[in-house]
Amino acid sequence: LDYQHVQVPFEITLWIMLASLAKIGFHLYNKLPSVVPESCLLIFVGLIMGGIIYGLNDRSPPVMDSDIFFLYLLPPIVLDAGYFMPSRPFFENIGTILLYAVVGTIWNVFGIGFSLYGICQVKAFRLQDVSLLHNLLFGSLIAAVDPVAVLAVFEEIHVNEKLHILVFGESLLNDAVTVVLYKLFRSFCEMPTIKSVDVFAGVGKFFVVGLGGVLVGLSFGFTAAFTTRFTKDIRVIEPLFVFLYSYLSYLTAEMFHLSGIVAIISCAMGMKRYVEANISLKSHTTVKYFMKMWSSVSDTLIFIFLGVSTIGENHEWNWPYICFTVIFCLIWRALGVLVLTFFVNRFHVNTITSKDQFIIAYGGLRGAICFSLVFLLPDFHRKKLFIAATTVVILFTVFVQGMTIRPLVDLLAVKRKRESAPTVGEQIHIRFLDHLLAGIEDISGHWGQYYWKDKLEYFNSKYLQKILLREYDQPKSSIVLLYEKLERKHAIELAQAGQLGHSPAQPSFLCSGFLCSSSDRTVLADQKLEDAPNPDALDNMQEILARHLYRIRRTGPAYNRHTLPGDSEPSERAKEILILRHTNR
Amino acid sequence: LDYQHVQVPFEITLWIMLASLAKIGFHLYNKLPSVVPESCLLIFVGLIMGGIIYGLNDRSPPVMDSDIFFLYLLPPIVLDAGYFMPSRPFFENIGTILLYAVVGTIWNVFGIGFSLYGICQVKAFRLQDVSLLHNLLFGSLIAAVDPVAVLAVFEEIHVNEKLHILVFGESLLNDAVTVVLYKLFRSFCEMPTIKSVDVFAGVGKFFVVGLGGVLVGLSFGFTAAFTTRFTKDIRVIEPLFVFLYSYLSYLTAEMFHLSGIVAIISCAMGMKRYVEANISLKSHTTVKYFMKMWSSVSDTLIFIFLGVSTIGENHEWNWPYICFTVIFCLIWRALGVLVLTFFVNRFHVNTITSKDQFIIAYGGLRGAICFSLVFLLPDFHRKKLFIAATTVVILFTVFVQGMTIRPLVDLLAVKRKRESAPTVGEQIHIRFLDHLLAGIEDISGHWGQYYWKDKLEYFNSKYLQKILLREYDQPKSSIVLLYEKLERKHAIELAQAGQLGHSPAQPSFLCSGFLCSSSDRTVLADQKLEDAPNPDALDNMQEILARHLYRIRRTGPAYNRHTLPGDSEPSERAKEILILRHTNR
């Protein structure tokens, strides 16, 4: 037996296996995950495992290594979050999100830090040796809302999109603030005297860390997109580049002490649309699947390790300090949300209701990031107290808040996520309004959101797409893309039902020739795009779209200096006309 | 700048990135890979990189760590090889493959070892201090054909399936022999005296190492299949289990000093059909894609590292020893193939031609496994000589043999791989003959290949499938499965062409009712199954199959004690009849 030799990969594989099997176990009993969030169950599994290890070895089980967490477990989750981030609500609320993430986090750090310092002055608690700087340092690590914990809980409660993106976006972007403040206070703790220059340098660092992260991320993202231009002959390594470049962006940012989370999110959001257009359909399935798989495993491992690390003798149980930490975390977050939302609501038409505010404040879960940061603290005599307080705050937020948030959402009747996809009509209207608003902003000289979006879109189609896309003809209308996707889905379904080639022809909806009556357009606009309840309706819509596709394609470049109209792709045209004629016959 | 902190993942990512970019680079110029095998190009890149590192640092560049090779780089390649192994030709030729792998490798080991010992006796070469045991040890590591190198070259030259599986199967299965002989001689080298008991124990080990590997692999494979029964609700982690269990089988085998390669291949081959039936289509795409991607990256890294490790001062250039090693490797392999094939041909109707024998002998490439083994040797004063000889043998086989094998295959007009897939008619005939031969063997009391295959298939459908498959109704006929696959493919193609719902009805081939004229059957039998040159013919075939599918399904369980005939799934039936009627109308 030669265990030494294979120990490292063997144990890693076993841990991942355990995590995956635990996940399967929960889902075998459907009732459990609908009451208790998966994160709680996983921490519970970890607690039991930690207890077993502690009981058998009679010493503390290994704690989660901060390096492993930051280098290997966190990136997949953040990459997944960034890649599947709904970009429209994110950019629509970017101002509010940044306000919560930057000002809100600073508010929480100083609020918690100063009030805990106040508690330390009470002689009965025997905490007078904890200095203000140490309290602020502790505040900087405990204040930040954790993206992993938020994602785990909010993915299950299905609140409306805006609320979700506000909490989730904050949890991602506050990383820049946390990094800066944590490192600032840590270096202050080790300095003999603090000059005012250092404080100003700290403020400047905010911008460097945040914007630097964005810059690093975007440059890696665009490089990734550019690389996938040349992978046509070796499709099989396409997915690799998505993972390699985003991981490199994270590591590079970490190397330069920038915000790795911000970098990987920018990278994922930057490359997504170009990579998707360049790589094959199967590569894309693999990318999506593997991202989800990886983040899901990371997530599971993190919560199990959180549980395991809780057991042991790393803690100093000074209950007043711990209890006040929990209370201050709740109070300062609630106050912060109230005050910031007051300002946000003054400048927005679409205000954040008081119910939403309550959920934003209540959804401020803490998680593994705090936990890893507290273990990274330099050794000093009260480190174990901070570890204990952090552990209790995490367990409190994940268990108490995580388990009660779903009933509270039900009770308050918070606006839920729309179950149905937007109709074609809605999508057309939204697009139309975007163009209209961009025009209005341009005329009125107001450089708002829509103006910039329009400019960006212009820059994208004028330069970026030409450089980054392999087959750059002319941007396909998204409605054509949607139609193609629907057709493919429909075809597979038909093939599975064995109905291919026998499409039910319903004469009432067929309109001969190229002109379509207005009643058909109404039908078209009212059909749901995905998960339509009525398959017949979907069929009809596709019938109509199929008829119209010919016309949509024809309305391409109407006049071009070098080609005569109708001159392009004659064989394709002929084929289409043939098909149409064939159908009509 | 904090490079220390991210060094390990950063450098790994950069190496993988370099490997992937090199691959893209080769494929940008289509001419290069068609003349020079990719493995040669990659070694060349490695040599250049090694030269640069050597020039800059003025010391030997790092050699490939044997642990990294055996624990991380080799398993993905072998897993890929096992998972996509064509099982029919493999099992049809298993006897010949085992003969080459076991007897052939032993022949080579002792042949090379003893003749090199003879060379060492020549005084002019100054090699008298190399003992017989050391020569045999060197023979045991240099004799084995390398699967990675064979795969890299044979995948590009497209020889016929039997020839390919003979060389490739040998290269995989000789691992058990190599492991045993290498460890045996290594322990003999360290022992003061060798007893005859030790030699007999060594012979017994062959069976333990080989069969133990198969056993470990199969048990992990079946566990994997069993686990995927329960993943219906969390599709996203399905692909993980395929990778985790096969890796665990490899590590477990290595831990117990069994053959890891044999274990992972058995695991992959054992789980494949059950896992494929259990997991979703998208998971399966991800599994296939990721396996190919991973093995492709590993392969690239191995060859680059081979090149890098060649540069440096680890070598002792005793040219007589090195040249004779190359010559003996060639001679003993050629002799071995000739002798063994003589025996094989006496017992087989389908003989191995002399051209095939030449390619088998010539295709005995050496690669990274020898290289890693020679570095694992215990330190003794002639280790650098062995390293030099191994390096030269690898470079000679990969460059000279690898680059000339394609022209030789052309020159000799070796039978190539069939470009076209077998027709439906052929497949039906093959299946029919299998059953017939199984029956004949059963009647004549001859327990041959077909008899065992039939028994295994019976055992599989009677017990294994019931335990391992999630939806075990009744085994779907493979022709129905093939039809479903074709339908899906066709549907996607139709959707892409925008023709869905307008299938071209060709009345000449349509036969009304359930009976189909014999002319249609002829059409059916003659159509190629995949990549059919004529899409119309494919359409016709599908039309006919679509008509027949109803009848195929009806010929299920004709009589059952608990159900009346035709009682099962009435709604499905009704739907089908409706569709058929609809079509006929």
Provide the CATH number for the domain around residue B296. 1.20.1530.20
Query: B145 to chain A, minimum CA–CA distance in Å?
Result: 25
Give the residue-averaged pLDDT of A209-216. 92
What is residue B477's predicted lDDT score, i.e. its pLDDT?
Answer: 60
A251/B13 CB distance under 8 A:
yes
Percent residues over pLDDT 90 in chain A: 20
Nearest-angstrom CA–CA distance, B94 and B255: 27
Query: B254 to chain A, minimum CA–CA distance in Å?
Result: 8
Q: Please give the structure tokens belonging to residue B176.
A: 């058990």
- On chain B, the residues whose CB falls within 8 A of the CB of A546 are 498, 500-501
What is residue B547's predicted lDDT score, i.e. its pLDDT?
Answer: 55
- On chain B, the residues whose CB falls within 8 A of the CB of A576 are 498
Do B60 and B159 sit in the same domain of this protein? yes
Those of residues 69-108 in A touching chain B at CB distance below 8 A are 71-72
Nearest-angstrom CA–CA distance, A408 and A199: 42
Containing domain of residue B322, as a range?
A: 3-412
Is the pLDDT at B420 greater than 80, yes or no? no
pLDDT, tens only, A330-387:
999 999 999 999 999 988 888 888 888 999 999 889 988 888 888 888 888 888 889 8
Segment of A53-57, B299-303, B469-473, B581-585 carrying the highest mean pLDDT: B299-303
A501/B546 CB distance under 8 A:
yes
Give the residue-averaged pLDDT of A4-31. 85
Of the given ranges (A33-42, B40-49, B534-543), which has the lowest mean pLDDT?
Answer: B534-543
Give the number of other CB atoms < 10 A from CB of residue A191: 11
State the virtual CA torsion across B289, B290, B294, B300 in degrees, nearest 10. 30
The partner residues of A159 in beta bridges, in order of sequence, read A416
Q: Is residue B531 domain-resident? A: no
Mutate to test the interface with A, among B487, B506, B544, B572 (most CBs of A within 10 A): B487
The answer, for A533 touching chain B at a CB cutoff of 8 Å, is: no
Nearest-angstrom CA–CA distance, B176 and B264: 12
Q: SS3 of B416, please?
A: strand
Nearest CA in chain B to A72: B9
Query: A393 to chain B, minimum CA–CA distance in Å?
Result: 28
- Letter for the amino acid at B125? F
pLDDT, tens only, A130-169:
888 889 999 999 988 988 888 888 888 888 888 899 999 9
- For B427, the enclosing helix (H) or strand (E) is helix B424-444
Those of residues 435-454 in B touching chain A at CB distance below 8 A are none
Nearest-angstrom CA–CA distance, A549 and B497: 12
Q: Please give the structure tokens belonging to residue B188.
A: 């003999």
User: Cβ distance B238 to B228 under 8 Å?
Assistant: yes
CB pairs under 8 A between A and B: 208
- On chain A, the residues whose CB falls within 8 A of the CB of B71 are 6, 9
Q: Is B304 exposed, middle or buried (0-12, 13-18, 19+ CB in 10 A)?
A: buried
Q: Per-residue DSSP letters for A289-358?
A: HHHHHHHHHHHHHHHHHHHHHHSSS-----HHHHHHHHHHHHHHHHHHHHHHHHHHHHT-SSPPPHHHHH
- On chain A, the residues whose CB falls within 8 A of the CB of B543 are 501
CA end-to-end distance (rounded Å), chain A: 76
The answer, for B192 touching chain A at a CB cutoff of 8 Å, is: no
Q: Is residue B289 domain-resident? A: yes
- Predicted confidence band at B205 (pLDDT cuts at 50, 70, 90)? confident
Closest to A556 measured CA to CA, from A544, A566, A548: A566
CA atoms within 13 A on the CB side of A138: 31
- On chain A, the residues whose CB falls within 8 A of the CB of B282 are 285, 289
Do B393 and B430 sit in the same domain of this protein? no
Nearest-angstrom CA–CA distance, A427 and A444: 26
A2/B255 CB distance under 8 A:
yes
Is the pLDDT at B510 greater than 50, yes or no? no
User: Cβ distance B264 to B78 under 8 Å?
Assistant: yes
- Predicted confidence band at A535 (pLDDT cuts at 50, 70, 90)? low
- On chain B, the residues whose CB falls within 8 A of the CB of A252 are 10
Q: Is residue B525 domain-resident? A: no
- Predicted confidence band at A249 (pLDDT cuts at 50, 70, 90)? very high
Q: SS3 of A568, please?
A: coil
Residue ending a domain, choose from B377, B412, B447: B412
The answer, for A467 touching chain B at a CB cutoff of 8 Å, is: no
A30/B579 CB distance under 8 A:
no
User: Cβ distance B244 to A6 under 8 Å?
Assistant: no
pLDDT, tens only, A60-85:
777 778 888 889 999 998 999 889 88
Is the pLDDT at A536 greater than 70, yes or no? no
Phi, psi of B505 (to 5 degrees): -90, 120
Give the residue-averaged pLDDT of B109-119. 92
Give the residue-averaged pLDDT of B226-248. 88
Percent residues over pLDDT 90 in chain B: 20
Closest to B371 measured CA to CA, from B306, B303, B321: B306
Those of residues 233-272 in B touching chain A at CB distance below 8 A are 233-234, 236-237, 239-241, 244, 247-248, 251-252, 254-257
B24/A227 CB distance under 8 A:
yes
Q: How many domains does chain A have?
A: 2
The partner residues of A416 in beta bridges, in order of sequence, read A159
Do B459 and B367 sit in the same domain of this protein? no
A289/B296 CB distance under 8 A:
no
Do A366 and A284 sit in the same domain of this protein? yes
Do A384 and A433 sit in the same domain of this protein? no
Q: Please give the structure tokens belonging to residue B78.
A: 């072998």
Residue ending a domain, choose from B384, B412, B440: B412
A549/B494 CB distance under 8 A:
no
Is the pLDDT at B508 greater than 50, yes or no? no
The answer, for B507 touching chain A at a CB cutoff of 8 Å, is: no
What is residue A472's predicted lDDT score, i.e. its pLDDT?
Answer: 59
Q: SS3 of B542, please?
A: helix
The answer, for B299 touching chain A at a CB cutoff of 8 Å, is: no
Is the pLDDT at B473 greater than 60, yes or no? no
The partner residues of B159 in beta bridges, in order of sequence, read B416
What is residue B516's predicted lDDT score, i.e. its pLDDT?
Answer: 37
Q: SS3 of B548, please?
A: helix
What is residue A568's predicted lDDT score, i.e. its pLDDT?
Answer: 41
- Letter for the amino acid at A343? F
DSSP A499: -
Query: B293 to chain A, minimum CA–CA distance in Å?
Result: 5
Q: SS3 of A368, please?
A: helix
Give the nearest partner residue to B239 out of A234, A282, A289, using CB atoms: A289
Q: Is residue A519 domain-resident? A: no
Task: Report in angstroms the alpha-carbon separations of A557 from A480, A567, A575, A577, B51.
Answer: 16, 11, 20, 19, 54
Do B198 and B283 sit in the same domain of this protein? yes
Do B210 and B358 sit in the same domain of this protein? yes
DSSP B448: -
pLDDT, tens only, B531-572:
334 566 566 656 655 554 544 443 333 333 443 334 444 455
Nearest-angstrom CA–CA distance, B422 and B324: 46
Task: Report in angstroms the alpha-carbon separations of A304 from A18, A31, A145.
Answer: 10, 21, 19
User: Cβ distance B300 to B19 under 8 Å?
Assistant: yes
Mean pLDDT, chain B, rounded, equals 79
Nearest CA in chain B to A258: B1
Of the given ranges (A312-321, B339-348, B536-545), which has the lowest mean pLDDT?
Answer: B536-545
Give the residue-averaged pLDDT of A263-271. 93
Buried b / exposed e across B81-118, counting CB within 10 Å, b at 16+?
bbbebeeebbbbbeebbbbbbbebbbbbbbbbbebbbe
Task: Report in angstroms the alpha-carbon separations of A175 from A261, A265, B134, B316.
Answer: 7, 11, 59, 55
Give the residue-averaged pLDDT of B453-467. 83
pLDDT, tens only, A469-517:
877 555 556 666 677 777 777 777 766 665 554 444 333 333 333 333 3
Do A38 and A112 sit in the same domain of this protein? yes
ipTM over 0.95: no
The answer, for B571 touching chain A at a CB cutoff of 8 Å, is: no
Do B24 and B63 sit in the same domain of this protein? yes
pLDDT, tens only, A283-298:
888 898 889 888 888 8
What is residue A516's predicted lDDT score, i.e. its pLDDT?
Answer: 37
Buried b / exposed e across A194-219, counting CB within 10 Å, b at 16+?
eeeeeeeebeebbebbbebbbbbbbb
Give the number of other CB atoms < 10 A from CB of residue B438: 20
List of residues 6+ apart from B263 with CB closer than 8 A? B213, B214, B216, B217, B220, B249, B250, B252, B253
Nearest-angstrom CA–CA distance, A119 and A98: 31
What is residue A488's predicted lDDT score, i.e. its pLDDT?
Answer: 74
Mutate to test the interface with A, among B186, B251, B252 (most CBs of A within 10 A): B251
Do B434 and B400 sit in the same domain of this protein? no
Do A213 and A70 sit in the same domain of this protein? yes
Q: Is residue A117 domain-resident? A: yes
Q: Is residue B44 domain-resident? A: yes
Do B302 and B434 sit in the same domain of this protein? no
User: What count of residues does chain A have?
Assistant: 585
Q: Is residue B221 domain-resident? A: yes
Closest to A285 measured CA to CA, from B284, B360, B504: B284
Nearest CA in chain B to A292: B236
DSSP A400: I
Give the number of other CB atoms < 10 A from CB of residue A281: 12
Give the residue-averaged pLDDT of A405-421. 82
Is the pLDDT at B196 greater than 70, yes or no? yes
B286/A289 CB distance under 8 A:
yes
Those of residues 304-363 in A touching chain B at CB distance below 8 A are none
Q: Per-residue DSSP letters for A65-132?
A: PHHHIIIIIHHHHHHHHHHT--HHHHHHTHHHHHIIIIIIHHHHHHHHHHHHHHHHT-GGGT-TTS-H
Give the residue-averaged pLDDT of B272-297. 87
Q: Per-residue DSSP letters for B182-203?
A: HHHHHHHHHSSS--HHHHHHHH
What is residue B276's predicted lDDT score, i.e. its pLDDT?
Answer: 86
B27/A503 CB distance under 8 A:
no
∠ Cα A375 A380 A385 (to 5°)? 65
Kindly tell me the sign of the dihedral angle through the C-alpha atoms of A220, A226, A230, A235: positive
Query: A585 to chain B, minimum CA–CA distance in Å?
Result: 11
> CA gyration radius for chain A?
28
pLDDT, tens only, B12-40:
899 899 888 888 888 887 677 777 888 88
User: Cβ distance A218 to A245 under 8 Å?
Assistant: no
The answer, for B487 touching chain A at a CB cutoff of 8 Å, is: yes
User: Cβ distance A147 to A168 under 8 Å?
Assistant: yes
Mean pLDDT, chain A, rounded, equals 79
List of residues 6+ apart from B225 with CB closer than 8 A? B270, B271, B274, B275, B278, B468, B469
DSSP A146: P
Those of residues 42-71 in B touching chain A at CB distance below 8 A are 67, 71
Is the pLDDT at A519 greater than 60, yes or no? no
Q: Is residue B392 domain-resident? A: yes
pLDDT, tens only, A541-570:
566 555 545 444 433 333 334 433 344 444
More confident residue, A97 or A33: A97
B495/A500 CB distance under 8 A:
no
Residue ending a domain, choose from B389, B412, B435: B412
